[in-house]
């Protein structure tokens, strides 16, 4: 059933009379097509949150019609992309009606008021199935919302549905679930855990989404799908009501189509939460106010050896162009040395599997037959790691993090790739991914996992395309609590390039 068709004559007349559906925007017969005039109808679903929010606030667009339009788009296209695992259509429509009613009464909640978004199916949603990519939790229905969900709803966001992920947020997928398809090229990798979030955001099936990142799961799908992904400082965004993978490295953050949109979502999500013992009490400073495009005099660190050795040539070339643009904008590129992290994949696997085994101790191994073979092997491995080995990598992690903090404190932020290579062809066996297969998909982990070890904030964003037409991504890394600096830098770069304006043709 088409959700737009459900907009009743009474609703339409009411919204028309109150200005919530402009006569210039006839949602009742929408059929957006490309044309030479580039009018308003062209790709409304690819508008940014900041663009759509101004239309809602000025009553040119009704949240109800916008939500129904997005649900229709999901119905039409997601049957081939598999980004959503659970739709919340009827609930979304009711919330949209409420947002429109509030707006009529002069109650505007801010830039997320009436904006349709997607939520990774790792976050609890009250009364709605939350599976965490597993079979073992296929019937789990939480009786409360995750703090992030609660905050986004309080900010006026409309949740369209729950987004697909790898099993338990680890690399392999459960064999009974569909794997999200990269909208740029169906043969290419769509990322790891937050792949549904990356696909839905890139394909215009939501205006922004929530991802989680334990070892790269915001950055990888952002990179290969051409999105902006913000991994905040560890503890900036509450993990309460979020299924854990490895609690000491789990981060929650936004995935969007522009830096400003990521900041809008981040500011709604961030802040101290008494329900999360790792939540930080450090006050949140405004980030959006820093998005002025001025980075003149900023000291941006760059380690050429770290950022180019064993990195695909197309990534290196794109990174060189990023450096040129930053210099043109007045930034000062400073030579730095990234601390040696050793083998981050080995370190992460030890810590990650041990903590994952703890997180799943209520259901594993007692219900091991319900787990996919790949994740089951990881949990078994984690149960058998010795205390000495875990202590060894924990010590390595602490020493590396201390050195990284010192280096970052000497500059304003650092620039490096998000990934060492463009998206490869799909995994040969996505349900039991071997170490060899993982290294094929992502040549090195040095651009992701070290920043989970240390908990520092990162911003990944588009910076070009491969010869195959696949998005390339650059990453800005900041000191703890300095989301403002990396977003300020990323915004200036974004506003002086056009990569974020490119979208896949579905």
Strands (E), 425-502: 458-465, 471-477
Task: Answer whether 263's CB lies under 8 Å from 279's CB.
Answer: no
Taken in order 238, 241, 242, 244, is the CA torsion positive or negative? positive
Closest of 243, 227, 187 to residue 375, by C-alpha: 243
What lies within 8 Å, CB to CB, of 470 at 6+ separation is: 182, 184, 185, 188, 224, 422, 423
Phi, psi of 393 (to 5 degrees): -75, -30
What lies within 8 Å, CB to CB, of 32 at 6+ separation is: 41, 42, 43, 44, 45
Phi, psi of 152 (to 5 degrees): -65, -40
**For the stretch 223-237, what's the b/e string if a residue is b when 16 or more beta carbons lie within 10 angstroms of its beta carbon?**
bbbbbbbbbbbbbbb
How many other C-beta atoms can be found within 10 angstroms of the C-beta atom of residue 197? 38
Specify the 3-state DSSP secondary structure of 406. Answer: helix
What lies within 8 Å, CB to CB, of 318 at 6+ separation is: 463, 464, 472, 474
Closest of 383, 387, 385, 389 to residue 371, by C-alpha: 383
Task: Answer whether 219's CB lies under 8 Å from 477's CB.
Answer: no
Active site residues: 120, 193, 217
């Amino acid at each position: 059933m088409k959700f737009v068709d459900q907009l009743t004559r009474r609703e339409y007349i009411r919204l028309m009379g109150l200005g919530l559906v402009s006569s210039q925007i006839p949602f009742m017969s929408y059929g957006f097509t490309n044309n030479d005039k580039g009018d308003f109808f062209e790709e409304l679903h690819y508008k940014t949150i900041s663009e759509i929010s101004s239309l809602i606030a000025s009553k040119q667009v009704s949240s109800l019609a916008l939500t129904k339009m997005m649900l229709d788009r999901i119905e039409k296209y997601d049957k081939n992309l598999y980004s959503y695992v659970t739709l919340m259509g009827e609930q979304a429509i009711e919330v949209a009606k409420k947002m429109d009613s509030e707006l009529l009464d002069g109650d505007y909640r801010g830039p997320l008021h009436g904006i349709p978004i997607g939520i990774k199916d790792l976050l609890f949603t009250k009364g709605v199935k939350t599976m965490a990519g597993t079979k073992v939790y296929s019937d789990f229905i939480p009786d409360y919302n995750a703090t992030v969900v609660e905050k986004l709803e309080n900010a006026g966001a409309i949740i369209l549905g729950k987004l697909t992920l790898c099993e338990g947020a680890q690399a392999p997928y459960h064999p009974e679930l569909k794997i999200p398809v990269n909208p740029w090229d169906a043969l290419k990798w769509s990322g790891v855990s937050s792949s549904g979030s990356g696909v839905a955001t890139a394909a215009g099936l939501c205006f922004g989404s929530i991802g989680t990142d334990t070892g790269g799961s915001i950055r990888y799908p952002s990179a290969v799908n051409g999105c902006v992904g913000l991994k905040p400082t560890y503890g900036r965004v509450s993990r309460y009501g979020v299924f854990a993978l490895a609690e000491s490295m789990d981060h929650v953050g936004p995935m969007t189509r522009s830096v400003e949109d990521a900041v809008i979502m981040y500011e709604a999500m961030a802040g101290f939460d008494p329900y999360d013992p790792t939540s930080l009490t450090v006050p949140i400073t405004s980030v959006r106010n820093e998005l002025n495009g001025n980075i003149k005099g900023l000291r941006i660190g760059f380690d050429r050896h770290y950022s180019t050795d064993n990195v695909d040539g197309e990534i290196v070339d794109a990174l060189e162009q990023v450096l040129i643009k930053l210099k043109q904008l007045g930034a000062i590129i400073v030579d730095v040395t990234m601390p040696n992290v050793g083998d981050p994949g080995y370190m992460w696997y030890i810590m990650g599997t041990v903590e994952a085994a703890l997180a799943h101790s209520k259901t594993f191994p007692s219900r091991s037959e319900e787990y996919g073979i790949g994740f089951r092997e990881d949990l078994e491995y984690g149960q058998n790691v010795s205390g000495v080995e875990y202590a060894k990598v924990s010590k390595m992690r602490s020493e590396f993090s201390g050195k990284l903090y010192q280096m970052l404190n000497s500059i304003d932020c650092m620039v490096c790739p998000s990934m060492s290579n463009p998206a490869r062809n799909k995994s040969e066996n996505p349900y039991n991914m071997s170490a060899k297969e993982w290294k094929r998909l992502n040549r090195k982990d040095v651009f992701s996992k070290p920043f989970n070890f240390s908990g520092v904030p990162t911003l990944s964003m588009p910076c070009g395309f491969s010869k195959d037409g696949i998005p390339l991504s650059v990453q800005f890394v900041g000191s703890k609590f300095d989301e403002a600096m990396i977003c300020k830098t990323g915004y200036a770069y974004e506003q002086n390039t056009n990569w974020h304006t490119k979208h896949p043709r579905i």
